[in-house]
Amino acid sequence: MHDKTLIPEFMALNKGKHTVAEIEGIRCTVVETGLNENRCLFLKGILVQNGFEVKAEKEKSKEGTQLETMVLGVTDIRFNPMITLFEQKLKRTDGNVVTQAYWNQWPADQDLPYWMVAK
C-alpha cells in the first residue's frame, strides 16, 4: 500500500483538468500546485529530462502574500500531465517509462499495472 500523504491535494493526475496560469510572467500549463520544494525539484527533473521548459514559483494567498508551497508549470500550453503520462510519453533518466507510481513517488513495484496500483 502506498502513502497518499505524498500526493498534493490539487494533483494534476487526480483532476484531469487543463489549467493555464501565469508563472514567472509566462503563461504555462499548470502541472501541480501545493508542492513542497523536494516534490517540485523531482517533477522539474522529469519534465526537463523530457524536453519541457519548466517554470516554478511560490504560490500566493488571496491576500497576495507568498505561501511556502509552490506551483509548477510548463510553457507548452498543450501539455496535459495525465494524458502524457498514460500515453507513456515521459521517460526517466534510466530510459524506462514514467509510471503513475513513479510520478506520484509511491514506493510501489514499477512493473505493477497502473490499474492495480491503488489495490
1-47: pLDDT as tens digits: 344 444 444 455 666 678 999 999 999 999 999 999 999 999 999 99
| Separation CA 109–CA 118 (nearest Å) | 12
Q: What is the pLDDT of residues 56-111, one digit of tens each?
A: 999 998 898 999 999 999 999 999 999 999 999 999 999 999 988 889 888 756 56
Greater confidence (60 vs 117) lies with 60
Long-range contacts of the stretch 60-68 (C-beta < 8 A, 24+): 68/36
- Tell me the torsion sign for CA atoms 14, 43, 91, 4: negative
Cell of 62: 488571496
The pTM of the full predicted model, rounded to 2 decimals, is 0.79
| Separation CA 70–CA 84 (nearest Å) | 22
Classified as helix, coil or strand, 44 is: helix
Residue at grid coordinates 526537463: 48
Single-letter residue type at 7: I
